[in-house]
Amino acid sequence: MINGKKIVLGVAGGIAAYKACALTSKLTQQGADVKVIMTENAQQFVSPLTFQALSRNPVFTDTFDEKDSAKIAHIDLADWADIFVIAPATANVIGKIAGGIADDMLSTTLLATEAEVYIAPAMNVHMYAHPAVMENMKKLEAWGYKFIEPGSGLLACGYVGKGRLEEPEEIMKVIATDQENKNLLKGKKVLISAGPTKERVDPIRYFTNHSSGKMGFALASEAAKMGAEVTMVSGPVNLETPARVKRVDVESAEQMYEEMIRLYPEQDVVIKAAAVADYRPVVVYDEKMKKKQGGLTIEMERTNDILKELGRRKTSQFLVGFAAETINHMEYGRKKLVDKNLDAIVINNIKETGAGFGADTNVVTYINKFGDIKEMELAKKTDIASKILDEISKGLKEASD
């Protein structure tokens, strides 16, 4: 998946720049055409001549050093690239990209490219954990940039922790796997529900749950990266819409039901990851309810069972549900798989460490309608989402064979 690719490698100013030399060599050996951009600080660690020898291409260091008068170098390079890799990516470079700053050859080219961008951070453990760096990475991830997480160990500064540039072999493996996966759902229409719902009592009060929407948003983001045409019906959450995803905002269970039913017929894959209210108040007051003596009883009624209705209406859609449980999660999940006519279900115990609402990680079990089980160990929700979609793509392929 790397052979024949045109790759721009951006090298920022960190001691890990020496690893970028090995990465350049390995990418070239695999058949990639590599062109290197170095920041001014990167040149303090490694000479441009080193990268020129390894890549057999000129090295770019200065926005105003136009090697061909017929072209504007940073625009030409941005258009040339199939893949853009930044390794090592310092806190400074990550901040520049997130802030839209373009003040050198690397940042101007990055801002102009439409190629897929992979960012491999490398920095001190405390810098990596700083809220500003974390926030910048989250922003870029929401924009569609792909991160190759640093490893843990002894850092050049003497600290031990997370911040080491990932090894060149692993960086290449991540890129190759991602390039292979990006066509898994090409041409497929995918509908995903995400987040909680709010069931109003009066203009001030409502019933809801702890769902953050992170799992559904991760699924939408990863499905789009795999080439799918993604529509996401989201309850009220504080998350940025993933790149290349069409988002429909709703509030109540009834609104989510209506949108899911409306969009359902034209979909190839439907994933119901939303935590939808099972009950809503029978009476919704137009004015604020005033405090009274004694207790308060609010009569509740069932909401529409969205997943069951989708299962009843299913024609050719591949339908996937979620079962977030606190006890007997496997038993309840398997029952839901059958009762709601699903093709697969994702089951998790929200009491398990690292799983559940609000966390950035999850631990799940994927079971298809044939009883095949795939255990997915603790990982970031984006990684879990990728694995779930990989299993769904296998299910689609089996259904078409």
Residues involved in catalysis = 157
359 vs 379: CA distance, rounded Å:
11
Structural tokens at position 331: 């038993």
224 vs 215: CA distance, rounded Å:
14
393 vs 391: CA distance, rounded Å:
5
Instruction: Scan for tokens 């090295």, then name that residue.
Output: 59
Burial of residue 389 (number of CB atoms within 10 Å: 0-12, 13-18, 19+): buried
Structural tokens at position 175: 């890129």
CA distances from 292 to 148, 202, 219, 304 (A): 57, 15, 45, 32
In contact, 45 and 14? CB cutoff 8 Å: yes
Instruction: Scan for tokens 């990268």, then name that residue.
Output: 51
Give the pairing of strands 83-89 and 116-121. Answer: parallel
Structural tokens at position 144: 């569609």
Cα 317 to the chain's mean position, in Å?
Answer: 23
In contact, 211 and 235? CB cutoff 8 Å: yes
Q: Which residues are within 8 A (CB) of 389 and not within 5 positions of it... i.e. 6 or more apart?
A: 184, 185, 219, 222, 223, 226
In contact, 63 and 73? CB cutoff 8 Å: yes
Nearest to 230 by CA among 253, 213, 248, 214: 248
Instruction: Scan for tokens 């939808």, then name that residue.
Output: 276
In contact, 192 and 220? CB cutoff 8 Å: yes
